[in-house]
């Protein structure tokens, strides 16, 4: 019985590493370690646990914005005022950002950390979501914005930690895409 309880199911082994930390805890710790304090977001189902833990931790100033662009503006102002920030959003939210990336973040060299929960692939049930997902990487590539798709828990801390450091050191934005392979994604429940 004890043996059976101790054995992780495939689902939990996807979400928990050797140190037993879930992906959202790894992301939170990496933000904290790199002094990224300001985290505005437009929510997503997959991001719920991360958003909850950010709110619960007084280290972070975290709040919802009405649009993703607005969050970009806030973090840009905060960076210029001396504080690091990251924004959280879903794929469809990223799709609203081409103009502000091209006219503010990239030309002004703002180290904007974008954490994007990826919808539209690996089991998407909404055709529109799958189409908007296909616009994300071409937009990032057209602006030569660094981006990583995070699929594995054992690589997650390395990618997030190093990417934040690189963004700040090179004064360039980065998109960190949370794959359903890492988070489980959002599935059709019926």
Partner 1 sequence: MTTRNTKVMDRFDVTSRLVRKLTHEEAVIGGIGNTNFDLWAAGPRPQNFYMLGSMGLAFPIALGVALVQPRRRVFALEGDGSLLMQLGCLTTIATLAPKNLTMILMDNGSYQITGGQATPAAGVADLMAVAIGCGLSSSVWAADEEDFDRLVDQSLTAPGPTLIGVRIDDKPGVGATRRDPVQIRERFMIGLGVRQAV
Instruction: State in angstroms the smallest separation of the CB of 87 from partner 1.
Output: 11
Residues engaged in binding partner 1 (CB under 8 A): 38, 40, 61, 63-67, 69-83, 85, 99-100, 102-104, 107-110
Instruction: State in angstroms the smallest separation of the CB of 25 from partner 1.
Output: 25
Nearer to partner 1, 101 or 153 (CB): 101
Report residue 186 CA to chain centroid gap.
Answer: 15
Nearer to partner 1, 38 or 178 (CB): 38
Q: Backbone phi, then psi, for 81, in 5-degree steps?
A: -85, 0
Q: How far apart are CA 151 and CA 131, in angstroms?
A: 20
Count the Cβ atoms, other than its own, within 10 Å of residue 73.
16
**Are 173 and 167 in contact, with CB atoms under 8 Å apart?**
yes
Q: How far apart are CA 115 and CA 67, in angstroms?
A: 15
Instruction: State in angstroms the smallest separation of the CB of 77 from partner 1.
Output: 2
Nearer to partner 1, 64 or 131 (CB): 64
Instruction: State in angstroms the smallest separation of the CB of 135 from partner 1.
Output: 19
């Amino acid at each position: 019985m004890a043996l059976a309880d101790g054995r992780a199911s495939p689902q939990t082994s996807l979400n928990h590493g050797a140190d037993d930390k879930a992906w959202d805890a790894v992301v939170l710790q990496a933000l904290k370690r790199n002094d990224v304090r300001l985290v505005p977001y437009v929510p997503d189902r997959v991001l719920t646990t991360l958003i909850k833990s950010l709110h619960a931790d007084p280290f972070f100033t975290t709040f919802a914005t009405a649009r993703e662009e607005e969050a970009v503006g806030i973090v840009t102002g905060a960076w210029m005022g001396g504080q690091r920030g990251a924004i959280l959003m879903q794929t469809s939210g990223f799709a609203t950002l081409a103009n502000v990336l091209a006219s503010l973040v990239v030309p002004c060299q703002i180290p904007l950390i974008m954490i994007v929960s990826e919808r539209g692939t690996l089991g998407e049930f909404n055709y529109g979501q799958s189409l908007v997902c296909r616009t994300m990487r071409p937009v990032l590539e057209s602006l030569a914005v660094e981006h990583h798709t995070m699929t594995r828990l054992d690589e997650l801390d390395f990618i997030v930690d190093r990417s934040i450091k690189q963004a700040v050191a090179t004064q360039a934005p980065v998109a960190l895409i949370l794959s359903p392979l890492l988070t489980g994604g959002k599935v059709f429940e019926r």
